[in-house]
């Protein structure tokens, strides 16, 4: 796999990701889509993942969520 950012996002489609934002908040969900501006679409994570995340300061998304690429610092797969 190439190390280019969009290639990494392509490989992470339909996988669980954590998105860290400039304001220090973090969101967790299933990567449903993205575009060339690094805008990302997250869907709600599986319920078993929510239990694990309860110990970490990460907010699982509850519904389809679009995060503007300008706010994204990192995306962890």
Give, in order, the Cα–Cα distances in Å from 10 to each of 16, 18, 24, 29, 69: 13, 15, 25, 15, 15
What distance in Å separates the CA atoms of residue 19 and residue 36, rounded to the nearest whole number? Answer: 16
- pLDDT given at position 2: 60
Question: What's the domain range around 54?
Answer: 5-76
Total domain count for the chain?
Answer: 1
Tell me: the pLDDT tens digits for 18-76?
999 999 899 999 999 999 999 999 999 876 555 455 555 788 899 999 999 999 999 99
pTM of the entire structure? 0.82
- pLDDT given at position 20: 93
- pLDDT given at position 56: 57
Output the domain CATH number for residue 34: 2.30.30.100
What distance in Å separates the CA atoms of residue 34 and residue 13, rounded to the nearest whole number? Answer: 9
């Amino acid at each position: 796999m190439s190390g280019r950012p969009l290639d990494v996002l392509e490989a992470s489609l339909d996988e669980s990701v954590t998105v860290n934002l400039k304001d220090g908040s973090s969101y967790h969900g299933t990567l449903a889509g993205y575009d060339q501006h690094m805008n990302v679409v997250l869907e709600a994570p599986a319920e078993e993942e929510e239990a694990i995340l309860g110990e970490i300061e990460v907010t699982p998304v509850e519904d389809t969520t679009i995060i503007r690429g300008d706010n994204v610092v990192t995306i962890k797969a």
